[in-house]
Amino acid sequence: MALIVQKYGGSSVANGERIKNIARRIAKIKDEGNEVVVVVSAMGDTTDELINLAHQVSEQPSDRELDLLLSTGEVVSSTLLAMALDSLGYKAVSLSGVQAGIQTDSSYSRARILRVDPKRIANELGKGNIVIVAGFQGMTQDMDITTLGRGGSDTTAVALAAALKAEICQIYTDVEGVYTADPHLVPEATKLKEVGYEEMLELASYGAKVIHPRAVELGELYDVPILVASSFSDSTGTFICKEASMEVRNKVRGIAHDTNVAKITVIGVPDKPGVAMSIFEPLAKANISVDTIVQNASVQNIADLTFTVAQTDLNKAMSIVEPVAKFFGAKQCIADATSAKVSIVGTGMQNTPGYAARMFRALYAEGINIQLITTSEIRITCIISEDKVKDAVQALHRAFELEKE
């Protein structure tokens, strides 16, 4: 008898019919002799509808109230799933985040889980119940309700799997797993059977939206094996686990891309201490994530500084950077909203020469100009023009022969 934690996303529980389908899937797992804990997101567009309601009564709803409001969405879907299981003849009980013992800090709208008290869940499992937990939510020390922000339900599931020492955490979503590249861009992309936590982090951060990076990090930290699969099919999905269990190392696992990229270049900044700090500190304070940063070697103590932000943050970032650049006597600030990233991801690349060269050659052969380059231990990223993304991803997929299993 294994303890299995499953998570179903909003599209999997979008209406009564789908909830009944999910109930049948869960029943099967239970019939196989397992203990089952299920984490659910809110039904379909519920969260957006609740946010819309909030904006009807307030231009800027307080985070504390918004969190309590939004937390109802997952309570609704989890009670409905428990009812559906009950009507199939299975004992089931639904628990809110509070009841499930999810304790968080008090950063409303993006709370972090501090600890999980699994007593109640263990108790319900002991009574033979399938336990349905409302995802995305927790409780502060003062019994106020918090939500966990983006990727919240994934994070709930992995945290519960860690606290309950579950055999596996299964994340069911509307895609079949993790692919070597976005199948919309590369029809011959293949599904990965396994991928390491860090590889998955690079792939997910760079646009393969299957599971939230935060949940992957938590999985790595607590050594929780994660399966990502579709709730609409029976195909096997992708297994996220320690690299040690990889079949193949030193290989590119996939091509990631991200088109929500804008580039800011500050031309002619003095090459002296304090300049970078003066530019990036106010951006951080304004909650703008800066991604790639490149400064070229200075000529006569004058250098050019280039960095990328999300396209949605571009205007705000420019309004912060321009006065600072002017203060330091920079010649010009250039904003470019038409950039994109393509990356090759795989463990062991840093020990093996040739990956970067192969990547650059493949892009050159397509006539794609590389604007910036940045690397991590398991990733090489090129910033290119947004309109070349599809060509670039296809070319790289071919160059690294990812269409072969």
Contact footprint for a copy of itself (CB under 8 A) = 15-17, 19-20, 23, 50, 53-54, 56-62, 64-66, 68-69, 71-72, 75-76, 79-84, 86-87, 93-94, 96, 98-99, 120, 143-145
Question: Cβ closer to a copy of itself: 13 or 305?
Answer: 13
Nearer to a copy of itself, 75 or 283 (CB): 75
Task: Give the nearest distance from C-beta 75 to a copy of itself in angstroms.
Answer: 5
Q: How far is the CB of 238 from a copy of itself (least distance, A)?
A: 30
Task: Please name the amino acid found at residue 259.
Answer: T
Q: For 336, how many CA atoms within 13 A lie in the half-sphere containing its CB?
A: 18
Nearer to a copy of itself, 64 or 358 (CB): 64
Least spacing, CB of residue 340 vs a copy of itself, in Å: 38
Query: Tokens 């321009």 sit at which residue?
Result: 322
Nearer to a copy of itself by Cβ, of 119 and 361: the residue is: 119
Cβ proximity to a copy of itself: between 94 and 173 the closer is 94
Provide φ and ψ at 233, rounded to 5°. -145, 175
For a copy of itself, which is the closer residue by CB, 19 or 111? 19
Q: Which two tokens stand for residue 73?
A: 């969405």
| Residue appearing with tokens 């991604």 | 291
Residue 156: CB minimum distance to a copy of itself, A: 17
- Two structure tokens written together for 208: 């393969």
Min. distance of Cβ 67 from a copy of itself in angstroms? 9
The two structure tokens encoding residue 297: 């070697």
Nearest approach in angstroms of CB 77 to a copy of itself is 10
CB 130, min distance to a copy of itself, A: 12
Task: Name the minimum Å distance from CB 287 to a copy of itself.
Answer: 22
> In one letter, which amino acid is 221?
L
Q: How far is the CB of 230 from a copy of itself (least distance, A)?
A: 21
If the CB atoms of residues 115 and 193 are measured against a copy of itself, the closer one turns out to be 115
Q: Given the complex with a copy of itself, which of 74 and 313 has the nearer CB atom?
A: 74
Interatomic CA distance for residues 191 and 194, integer angstroms: 9
Rounded to the nearest 10 degrees, how much is the dihedral formed by the CA atoms of 295, 299, 302, 303?
-10
Residue pair 204/210 in contact (Cβ under 8 Å)? The answer is yes
Least Å distance, CB 21 to a copy of itself, is 11
Which residues are CB-contacts of 77 (< 8 A; sequence separation ≥ 6)? 10, 13, 19, 40, 41, 42, 43, 46, 134
Of 4 and 66, which has the nearer Cβ to a copy of itself? 66
List residues bridging with 168 in a β-sheet.
4
Q: How far apart are CA 70 and CA 43, in angstroms?
A: 12
- Is the CB of 121 or the CB of 368 nearer to a copy of itself? 121
Q: What are phi and psi of 173, to 5 degrees?
A: -145, -165
Measured from the Cβ of residue 284, the count of other Cβ atoms closer than 10 Å reads 10
CA–CA–CA angle 367, 201, 341 (5° rounding): 20
Sheet architecture: strand order including 102-104:
113-116, 102-104, 137-139, 145-147
C-beta closer to a copy of itself: residue 16 or 187: 16
> Which among 321, 179, 311 has a CA at the least distance from the CA of 254?
179
Nearest-approach distance from CB 35 to a copy of itself, in angstroms: 20
CB 345 within 8 A of CB 199: yes
C-alpha span between 173 and 230 (Å, rounded): 5
Calculate the alpha carbon distances from 403 to 178, 187, 348, 366, 393 in Å. Answer: 14, 9, 20, 19, 12
